[in-house]
Amino acid sequence: MSAALSLRDRVFAGEQGVHPSADRDGRDHEALHLVAVEGEAVVGTCRLVLDGARARLGRLAVIRSRRRAGIGAALLTEADRQARGAGAMRIELHAQLPARELYVRDGYTVQGEVFVEEGIEHVSMAKRLA
């Protein structure tokens, strides 16, 4: 868990300038955390907050040197598997605009207009699991 949080700090606060308190929203304790590991290093992470038939995916981060290597896609595949196993029928997320295509390729659709979160343009997206 500490390695996943450290990676999120590097990506969101270090690279994107997001205030650490915005990332640490108090929901980590109720979430299922997924990690991608190479050797002994966590190179990717995301979390799922499960709520009955709905899951909320967030905090997807991949170490800079391993981006575009399929790690994000693998995390999404595992998130689908875990969400289905927990009974979720739908996954929702807020995608940063530069990452939107990753989610589109995984079957997510845009749900509404672009909005700004923490100074970064995002769009709501969702995917049916069943």
Tokens of 126: 């969702």
Q: Which CATH architecture has domain 2-128?
A: 3-Layer(aba) Sandwich (3.40)
Cα separation, 3 vs 44, in Å, equals 10
CB-based contact 68:101 (threshold 8 Å)? no
- The answer to whether 12 and 45 are in contact (CB under 8 A) is no
Helix (H) or strand (E) holding 2: helix 2-8
- Has this prediction a pTM greater than 0.85? yes
**Where exactly are the structural domains of the chain?**
2-128
pLDDT in tens, 33-90: 999 999 999 999 999 999 999 999 999 999 999 998 999 999 999 999 999 999 999 9
